[in-house]
């Protein structure tokens, strides 16, 4: 499963500096192991990331379809070289101290702002208590990226 980015058309989002966006329904799209690629046109991102943000739209409840409750369910965003380089661990489960709904987290990882080169961007969902991330029964997050492909992009201005 992958988060498929699309070009941003919302003026408010463009004004914040993001040109690509995507979302994930955690209950339906996060596999066991929690690794989810972030792609555009079903291809891995290769280029520069100016900034990245995550918005929490729905928490992951502690109760799940397994036999043990989650005590934590967090997400990070980065690439193969630094899995939490863009967004450091953001807690999504009320059993821990979760990020408030509607909160935008921008570049909380150690890569900071300004042209981080990426070759394989992804989100990693990590659970505790119940160890299988795929057993979540709810949860939604949105991802916003300022992305510049190495191969260039169409310009219509």
Q: What is the pLDDT of residue 112?
A: 59
The DSSP-derived string for 16-36 is TT--EEEEEEHHHHPPTT-EE
Residue 55 Cα to chain centre, angstroms: 9
Q: For the chain, 157 residues long, give each residue's pLDDT as a single digit of tens.
A: 799 999 999 999 999 999 999 999 999 999 999 999 999 989 888 888 889 999 999 999 999 999 999 999 999 998 888 888 899 999 999 999 999 999 999 988 877 556 677 888 999 999 999 999 999 999 999 999 999 888 666 666 5
Residue 76 · residue 87 · CB < 8 Å: yes
Q: Which residue has the tokens 């070009």?
A: 7
Q: What is the pLDDT of residue 134?
A: 96
Rounded to whole angstroms, the maximal C-alpha distance in the chain is: 54
Query: Domain 2-149 carries which CATH code?
Result: 2.60.120
Residue 141 · residue 24 · CB < 8 Å: yes
pTM as predicted: 0.90
How do strand 72-79 and strand 2-7 relate by DSSP bridges?
unpaired
Q: What is the pLDDT of residue 154?
A: 65
Q: What is the pLDDT of residue 155?
A: 60
């Amino acid at each position: 499963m992958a988060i498929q980015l699309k070009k941003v058309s919302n003026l408010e989002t463009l004004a914040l500096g993001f040109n690509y966006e995507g979302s994930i329904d955690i209950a339906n799209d996060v596999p066991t192991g929690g690794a989810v690629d972030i792609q555009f046109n079903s291809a891995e991102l290769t280029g520069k990331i100016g900034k990245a943000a995550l918005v929490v739209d729905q928490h992951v409840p502690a109760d799940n379809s397994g036999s043990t409750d989650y005590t934590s369910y967090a997400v990070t965003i980065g690439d193969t070289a630094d899995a939490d380089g863009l967004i450091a661990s953001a807690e999504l489960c009320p059993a821990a101290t979760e990020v408030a709904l509607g909160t935008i987290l921008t570049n909380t990882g150690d890569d900071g702002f300004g042209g981080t080169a990426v070759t394989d961007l992804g989100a990693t969902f990590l659970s505790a208590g119940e160890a299988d991330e795929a057993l979540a029964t709810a949860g939604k997050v949105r991802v916003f990226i300022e992305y510049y492909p190495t191969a260039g992009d169409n310009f219509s201005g």
